[in-house]
Amino acid sequence: MEPISHPDAVTVGPGQGTRRHRDCVPRDAPALCAIYNPYVTQTTVTFEEVAVSPRQMKRRIAEVTRRFPWIVCEQNGAVLGYAYATAWKSRSAYRHSVETTIYLDRNRTGEGIGTELYRTLLARLRAQDVHSIVGGIALPNAASVALHEKLGFLKVAQFRQIGLKFGQRIDVGYWQLTLS
């Protein structure tokens, strides 16, 4: 499966300009850290517990984009969010299955950015012959559940108290979408 480059533009409204979806590049790392790290340090949305440096993020970008898409949404030069896919499991029989991840600037949620970004990611994954997509969600997270279900994902599993962060035991649910 080779990464495919498809810049997409979404007009957002009079005077607001255009949001553009494009492939992530290493120079995006500081902006991605600025979006991601507040989730790390202030929420249970991710089970990562230490903020990620731009250097670490660059490594992650390089690793993911060797095989799968990593897309950013930008408007007026500012990165508003990102979405990417990684291998679901390492065994060869899983080669057409991925896990997806999406994060938005916490000040820009509720604007449709997540839906647009996820739709772009799904289109790219279809083009790569991906069959099954899994989204893992630390619960509760009504916004992420709503996003996944809006796009056709169905809840298929829930692990109880699987994570521990900030002294809290956290459930993780899994939503799945079959593309073909």
* 141 located within any domain: no
For strand 97-104 and strand 78-87, is the pairing parallel, antiparallel, or unpaired?
A: antiparallel
Confidence of residue 2 (pLDDT cuts 50, 70, 90): very low
pLDDT the model gives residue 7: 53
* 62 located within any domain: yes
Number of domains present in the structure of the chain: 1
DSSP per residue, 91-133: SGGGTTEEEEEEEE-TTSTTSSHHHHHHHHHHHHHHHTT--EE
Model pLDDT for residues 78-99, shown as the tens digit of each residue = 999 999 999 999 999 999 999 9
* 118 located within any domain: yes
Neighbours of 123 (CB within 10 A): 16
Model pLDDT for residues 119-148, shown as the tens digit of each residue = 999 999 999 999 999 999 999 999 999 999
Distance, in Å, from the CA atom of 4 to the CA atom of 13, rounded to the nearest integer, reads 28
Give the DSSP H/E element, type plus range, for residue 25. Answer: none
Average pLDDT over residues 37-42: 98
In terms of Cα–Cα distance, which of 100, 92, 93, 149 is closest to 123?
A: 100
Confidence of residue 18 (pLDDT cuts 50, 70, 90): confident
Is the full-model pTM beyond 0.75?
yes
Question: Which CATH number goes with the domain that contains 72?
Answer: 3.40.630.30
